[in-house]
Chain A
Amino acid sequence: MRLIVPLQGVVQGRGGIILGSIIPCALFYFLQFYLKRHRSLPPTNPTLPSTSSGNLSELQRCSSRTNLLPRGSTVRVRVSARASSIAKPNDSPYYIGLDRVREDPYDEMSNPDGLSLDMIEKWLSENLSISMLGLRGDGLGISGIATYQPMDGLMELKVVMAGFMTEVMGRTVSFDPSQVVLTSGATPALEILSFCLADQGNAFLVPAPYYPGFDRDMKWRTGVELIPVHCRSCDNFTWSITALEQAYNQARKRGQKVRGILISNPSNPVGNLLNKDMLYDLLDFARDVNIHIISDEIYAGSTYGNEEFVSMAEIVDSEDADKDRVHIIYGMSKDFSVPGFRVGVLYSFNENVLAASRKLSRFSSVSTPTQQLLVSVLSDTNFTREYIKTNKQRIRSMYNLFVAGLRELGLECTKSNAGLYSWVDMSRLISPYSEKGELDLWDNLFNIAKINVTPGSACHCIEPGWFRFCFTTLNEKEIPIVVDRIRKVVERCKPPV
């Protein structure tokens, strides 16, 4: 029930305090209540009307995987079903490998990060002053960064980030800072999209093989499903619209509601680039079945082939009607080599998604000193241009060296144009020709060659024997050494029967 406080507009305006209006206001305030007293009051609601409870949607209870305890029994206090499912030791080789490497000095080929960090470090040492932490000479002090800031990121960073994305993706489309939501890494950005676009039990189509982290990011806490759309070596592991349609229809028959499709472009783990036609076809498909598109473009700046990268933003730019269904993920972990700093981008054309995401970003905000640091670096567009160019050159030369080395061993990879890894065919080396054979080989690579690579099964690849080798953590001298070590394992493998 609203009671009007008059003269509000007058007093609220900037300018001098109008003391005189307070008295009549207070008077009016009391008068209204005096009048109210003589009217019959509506029965008071026993429960507190919380304006924030709103339409609390009743989420369906997931089937409880915890046992119901009889009351009074002295048993250990339990965690939720959600937590229980995550607390099990993770049996994906992707994570086991990463864990083991942490403990032992294996060669890290399952993690591609850090190729061009030296350039950033150099810039920082040449340009840095106390200003980095906001302690500028003009006395802004630490309060400039220490206090509460917008949870979805400082506007200055959004601006330079939009500029960086524009540069990195070839300047064919201009990114708008007001459509940028900053998060602590791309991981939460993906999860936020999953929360926004799908309800518990809904599904996303995902071309496979795919980045193992998608299972965690999209499914864990959201209760959303991922439906793999299997791609094959005969197609160079590229998806087709037919395959997507098939998967969508099959899902429908099963009674599963598909809310979107999640693609990675450049793709991980294969390293393919999607061309304009494919992206237009994808948009058509999404429109036909009325679903969203999430395009994870985190490797956009890591291209080295002859093909140009095309962002989903470029496709939508010219087709206004379907903007609302397109959402892009980006971040500083791959192209910019600073995964530790936790800087990710959720970019959307959908105002409702942006509004919800901005609020959800409070659970995953970027630390302000880090934001300030990036504002400094990314504002130097001469540097960023040089960086992007040099970074690409380095990736290209590492790629060439590595692929040549593998070829010496008789190992081929898919023809890729981007990414910090190669998708290598070791299928003739595994025995049996199955996931077990693949994991045996993975184990050998681990223990004998002492390198940690990602087996295709961890990426949900339907053909056994493929492995993702990241090559950007090595330097040129190390490549022959690594190739030699792989040779030892290759020679050990039984020849095909």
Chain B
Amino acid sequence: MAIEIETPSVSLSKVALSETHGEDSPYFAGWKAYDENPYDELNNPSGVIQMGLAENQVSFDLLEQYLEQHSELAANSGRSSTSSFRENALFQDYHGLQSFRKAMASFMEQIRGGRAKFDPDRIVITAGATAANELLTFILADPGDALLIPTPYYPGFDRDLRWRTGVNIIPVHCQSSNNFEITPEALEAAYNEAESKNIKVKGLLITNPSNPLGATIKRSNLKKILEFVTRKNIHLISDEIYSGSSFSCDEFVSISQILAEQNYKDSERVHVVYSLSKDLGLPGFRVGTIYSYNDDVVRTARRMSSFTLISSQTQQLLASMLSDKRFTENYIRVNRERLKKRYEMIIDGLRNAGIACLNGNAGLFCWVNLSSLLLEPTMECELELWKLILYEVRLNISPGSSCHCLEPGWFRVCFANMSENTLEIALRRIHDFMDRMRKVKISLQ
């Protein structure tokens, strides 16, 4: 503003006043509707069932069992055989507890079936993957620069990657015709679009397994992606927060495996983000990590992590739990089995209701095609359908437009954040809804 307007009230910054917190999208509005009328099996059976929150509740019992058997961990609030309560309470080193980093590295290796190795000294701790992604954006890009992100993508990225950083997101559009796979053509197109607007692209961010697709990226595509970023000399962030939620160990291929296979050539542009919020179902613990193959990035990220350290008490607790190989191996295997079972349950249920989904093999959700219900293939129709489903069927599912999907009619439906009972009820509601829609359509014709 060139002219100072004298107001009696003291003003706030552009960041504080900006809309880039992105909380106006339907993604968040649905949660609001749920908050106002949440489903409860006993007390509110007609309430809104939350199918818009990617939370993993299928394996809590395993965690509880572990904590009961190791009650000294729960009760010790940070004490262990190797460090006193005092040492732990005072530990605020931004390197993070070595035992914790070791345990995380080992856990990440186990998830990848030992096909990639992780060096604990390359692990930077953050309070959640949200913070990790923002941190990397601060480090890799300046205000006005851009990151390329394949669509559809997690709605939170609009907020997490852009708000305080001032960095832009350029979407890399993917199509249903090839199962929304990322193609070199799409990557080139997005890069060129940035160039034409005079925007510097600093990196590509992929989520693998993908949110919201619920599918892993094929090995051949990963290789092409790596070729692309190398050719353009940009960074690659691989958000692998759902790596432990692939339905079988072999389906998921991590970028770290590709790098290992090529002897880590050109790896200094690659950074992996991980967290325990999805695989371990512990989002409340606020545990995220950045694993970078770039020394400068590790050093800088570590310093910046001062703004987002993990409680030493939590680090201590998790260090013990994650270094217990018997527990982790069992957990990873059982969690995968249960997620697969849930996925099959919802796919069957949706198929019976006449709804098709993308073939998925990972994650806590499926990518559902409701485009046949749209009278016109427009975003407006999709939003109206979303509202209908939210307020009439009382299911909160996430519309594809909030994930920047170019094709209207796709929705992300979460299945792991509820009991099997609740999922059955949700499927029944969907079934009944589809029945009615068919009848209405027929009657109108």
Measured CB to CB, the residues of A under 8 A from B are: 1, 3, 5, 8, 11-12, 14-17, 19, 21-23, 25-27, 29-34, 36-37, 44, 48-62, 64, 69, 74-77, 79-83, 86-87, 90, 102, 113-114, 117-118, 120-121, 124, 128-130, 132-133, 135, 141-143, 145-149, 184-185, 187-188, 191, 195-200, 202, 216, 220-221, 259, 290-292, 324-325, 333, 337-343, 352-353, 356, 359-360, 362-370, 373
Cross-chain pair count, CB within 8 angstroms: 349
Interface 9-mer from B113-121, B218-226, B331-339, B433-441: B433-441
Of B68, B92, B145, B283, which one neighbours A80 at CB under 8 angstroms? B145
What's the least CB distance linking A284 to chain B, in Å? 14
A364 proximity list for chain B (CB < 8 A):
127, 131, 307-308
Taken together as a complex, chains A and B put the C-alpha atoms of A185 and B311 apart, in Å, by 9
Residue of A nearest to B4 (CB): A257
Residue of A nearest to B167 (CB): A80
From 327 to 354 in chain B, residues with beta carbon under 8 angstroms from any chain A beta carbon are none
B140 with A80: CB separation less than 8 A: yes
Taken together as a complex, chains A and B put the C-alpha atoms of A406 and B438 apart, in Å, by 88
Taken together as a complex, chains A and B put the C-alpha atoms of A118 and B139 apart, in Å, by 40
With A184-B286, A352-B16, A366-B286 known as contacts, the answer to whether A87 contacts B313 (CB < 8 A) is no
B92 with A48: CB separation less than 8 A: no
B24 with A52: CB separation less than 8 A: yes
From 419 to 442 in chain B, residues with beta carbon under 8 angstroms from any chain A beta carbon are 432-433, 436-437, 439-441
Of B16, B46, B394, which one neighbours A16 at CB under 8 angstroms? B46
Question: What are 17 contact pairs spanning A and B, CB under 8 A?
Answer: A31-B444, A37-B376, A52-B22, A52-B155, A53-B19, A61-B144, A83-B297, A121-B85, A143-B57, A184-B311, A188-B307, A340-B91, A341-B311, A367-B284, A367-B286, A368-B286, A369-B285
From 1 to 47 in chain B, residues with beta carbon under 8 angstroms from any chain A beta carbon are 6, 8-10, 12-26, 37, 44, 46-47
| B128 at the binding interface (Cβ < 8 Å) | yes
B384 with A50: CB separation less than 8 A: no
With A114-B89, A124-B77, A142-B60 known as contacts, the answer to whether A198 contacts B314 (CB < 8 A) is no
B307 with A14: CB separation less than 8 A: no
Taken together as a complex, chains A and B put the C-alpha atoms of A19 and B74 apart, in Å, by 47
Interface size on B, residues (CB 8 A): 124
A124 with B286: CB separation less than 8 A: no
What's the least CB distance linking A448 to chain B, in Å? 26
Of B303, B309, B388, which one neighbours A185 at CB under 8 angstroms? B309
What's the least CB distance linking B227 to chain A, in Å? 14
Taken together as a complex, chains A and B put the C-alpha atoms of A87 and B25 apart, in Å, by 36
Taken together as a complex, chains A and B put the C-alpha atoms of A102 and B268 apart, in Å, by 28
Known: A340-B88, A363-B164. 19 other contacts (CB 8 A): A17-B46, A26-B440, A27-B444, A29-B385, A49-B379, A51-B25, A52-B402, A114-B89, A142-B64, A143-B57, A146-B63, A184-B308, A184-B311, A324-B9, A339-B90, A353-B12, A365-B127, A368-B284, A370-B311
| B391 at the binding interface (Cβ < 8 Å) | yes
With A117-B85, A132-B74, A188-B308 known as contacts, the answer to whether A5 contacts B138 (CB < 8 A) is no
A216 proximity list for chain B (CB < 8 A):
306
A366 proximity list for chain B (CB < 8 A):
286, 311
Of B163, B268, B310, which one neighbours A77 at CB under 8 angstroms? B268
A340 with B131: CB separation less than 8 A: no
Of all A-B residue pairs in the complex, the 3 with the closest CB atoms, nearest first, are A54-B19, A340-B312, A52-B22
Taken together as a complex, chains A and B put the C-alpha atoms of A360 and B307 apart, in Å, by 12
Of B233, B385, B402, which one neighbours A75 at CB under 8 angstroms? B233
| B234 at the binding interface (Cβ < 8 Å) | yes
Taken together as a complex, chains A and B put the C-alpha atoms of A145 and B285 apart, in Å, by 8
A80 proximity list for chain B (CB < 8 A):
138-142, 145, 202
| B258 at the binding interface (Cβ < 8 Å) | no
B55 with A342: CB separation less than 8 A: no
Taken together as a complex, chains A and B put the C-alpha atoms of A5 and B33 apart, in Å, by 15
What's the least CB distance linking A440 to chain B, in Å? 27
A337 with B436: CB separation less than 8 A: no
| B52 at the binding interface (Cβ < 8 Å) | no
B375 with A196: CB separation less than 8 A: no
Give B286-311 as 1s and 0s: 1 = Cβ < 8 Å from A's Cβ atoms. 11000000101101100110111111
